[in-house]
């Protein structure tokens, strides 16, 4: 019973274009969402987060959008760079930013083609 | 500043044997977490320490798994006896006190466990 779903296992994008990674969730109690980036043989690295009281959070080239009614969030990377090639995990928690039991999706492997 | 370190990076054992994984969190981080990723599946929460106390161990799969955090510093995760389905990558993460950050966990590189 997956509560956080990343339905695209992989995505290829041309350098300079926009990358859009999607994530859906089923648990209505989730109120804090995070994206992590993972390179091979490394641990996940925090990228960006969003609270359920917001619908958008931006940090440089990375923007996360949250649609609570659809239980959907997306990560936009603009412009995409070859160094962005990695596996991206969507994660969610219930209880605000102070609750750290994260529920992860299976990840989407992003390949940015030079 | 040193990040979260885990040892060993890879362990290969036979079914029925015992393995102990170690995690050293970032200095000053009271919160320490164990997560596990089984092949092809999502990263799953195992447990959460606040200093030396277990705050939440709802993700521990069964009593073959024992986690400790002596003195609130490093933590160990022991699997005894190991079964084939325990194979995967075990991630440790740490964070500062709750409410003082954005919810960011700092992950280690993981300990890959292969049970034959």
pLDDT value of position A49: 92
Q: Is the pLDDT of residue A101 over 70?
A: yes
As a whole number, the mean pLDDT across chain A is 93
- Which of A44, A91, A95 has the highest number of chain B CBs within 10 A, making it the mutation to test binding with B? A44
What's the sign of the alpha-carbon dihedral A102, A104, A27, B56?
negative
Q: Is the pLDDT of residue B52 over 50?
A: yes
- Indicate the residue of A32, A101, A105 with minimum beta-carbon distance to B42: A105
Tens of pLDDT, residues B86-100: 999 999 999 886 554
Closest-CA residue of A relative to B107 is A43
pLDDT value of position B114: 97
Higher pLDDT, B52 or A1: B52
Q: How many CB atoms lie within 10 A of CB B116?
A: 10
Cβ neighbours of residue B92 closer than 8 Å, sequence gap 6 or more: B4, B6, B21, B23, B25, B32, B33, B34, B35, B75, B77, B107, B108, B110, B111
Q: Is the pLDDT of residue B2 over 70?
A: yes
Q: Is the pLDDT of residue A31 over 50?
A: yes
pLDDT value of position A97: 60
pLDDT band at A99 (very low <50, low <70, confident <90, very high): low
Q: Rounded to whole angstroms, how far apart are CA atoms B34 and B89?
A: 11
Q: Do B41 and A41 touch (CB under 8 A)?
A: no
Chain B residues closer than 8 Å to A91 by CB: 43
- How confident is the model over B13-34, as a mean pLDDT? 95
Q: Is the pLDDT of residue B39 over 90?
A: no
- Interface check B74 vs A, CB under 8 A: no
pLDDT value of position A39: 95
Residue B10 belongs to what H/E stretch? strand B10-13
- How confident is the model over B2-23, as a mean pLDDT? 96
Higher pLDDT, A107 or B71: A107
């Amino acid at each position: 019973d997956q509560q956080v779903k990343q339905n695209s296992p992989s995505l290829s994008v041309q350098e300079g274009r926009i990358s859009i990674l999607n994530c859906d969730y089923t648990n209505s109690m989730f109120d804090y969402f995070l994206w992590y980036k993972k390179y091979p043989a490394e641990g996940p690295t925090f990228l960006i987060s969003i609270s359920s009281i917001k619908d958008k959070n931006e940090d440089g080239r990375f923007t996360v959008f949250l649609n609570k009614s659809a239980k959907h969030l997306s990560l936009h990377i603009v412009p995409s760079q070859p160094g962005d090639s990695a596996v991206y995990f969507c994660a969610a928690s219930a209880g605000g930013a102070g609750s750290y039991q994260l529920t992860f999706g299976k990840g989407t492997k992003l390949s940015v083609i030079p | 500043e040193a990040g979260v370190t885990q040892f060993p990076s890879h362990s290969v054992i036979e079914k029925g044997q015992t393995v102990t994984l170690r995690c050293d969190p970032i200095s000053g981080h009271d919160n320490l977490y164990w997560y596990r990723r089984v092949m092809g599946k999502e990263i799953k929460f195992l447990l959460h320490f606040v200093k030396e106390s277990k705050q939440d161990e709802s993700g521990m799969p069964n009593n073959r798994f024992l986690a400790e955090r002596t003195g609130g510093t490093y933590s160990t995760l022991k699997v005894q006896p190991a079964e084939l389905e325990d194979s995967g990558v075990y991630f440790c993460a740490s964070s500062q006190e709750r409410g003082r950050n954005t919810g960011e966990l700092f992950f280690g590189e993981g300990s890959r466990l292969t049970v034959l």
